[in-house]
Chain A
């Protein structure tokens, strides 16, 4: 299985901060990397697919990038509704696997 290692596991930030979350794949996955946001009691929501493509309806303050097997989700200016847990997921090979999640909390 392809292991996805996310860091940090949690972070505290303030409204307006720039936030960066990293996901590292245990082997090459090309650009088959997706990012999700999950709020308590809700299903995950797709934010970014194919490493850097913004899903329709998602604010442009969210962006994704890649460098080899390292992938980054950036939130340009954190908004109150962005406090949530974020997951990366590889879709290069089955079994599909997720990172452990990053909880973004209010400082």
Chain B
């Protein structure tokens, strides 16, 4: 059973970099067909896709965040990471990592989510 766990600071100052890591267990991040994704949910709101990465390094970003976003993978640690620069209060959200399945890009396994607050 694949499990994902987000980790990182729960509080980030405005203008700084919001940085999170997702650790995958129960399966290898280098299992061919899968992509690995970040999604966020603003408090009391709906879901917003941030982007995803293949272990080969191929990335797909939401254009609305692309200029500030970097998603990377560390296969040796079975982890992938998110960095969002120039954070503002609008980036305050619960951040989820998830696996993109190999059928029709469904998000089939999710982490429990981590709340990141951007505030001074």
Contact = CB atoms under 8 A, between A and B. Distances in A.
Given A95-B62, A95-B63, A95-B64, A46 B46 contact: no
User: For chain A, what secondary structure do more than half of its interface residues adopt (helix, strand, loop), or is it mixed?
Assistant: loop
B48 interface: yes
Contact of B105 (A42, A96, A99): A96
Interface residues of A, number: 24
Interface in B63-120: 63-64, 96, 98, 101, 103-108, 110-113
A94 interface: yes
Contacts of B106: 34, 46, 49-50, 55, 89, 91
A32 B105 contact: yes
A46 B108 contact: yes
Interface of A: 31-32, 34, 36, 42-46, 49-50, 53, 55, 87, 89, 91, 94-101
A87 B46 contact: yes
A97 B104 contact: no
Nearest to B60: A94
Contact of B96 (A31, A32, A43, A97): A43
Nearest to A85: B46
A89 B110 CA distance: 15
A89 B41 CA distance: 14
A49 B105 CA distance: 9
Nearest to A95: B62
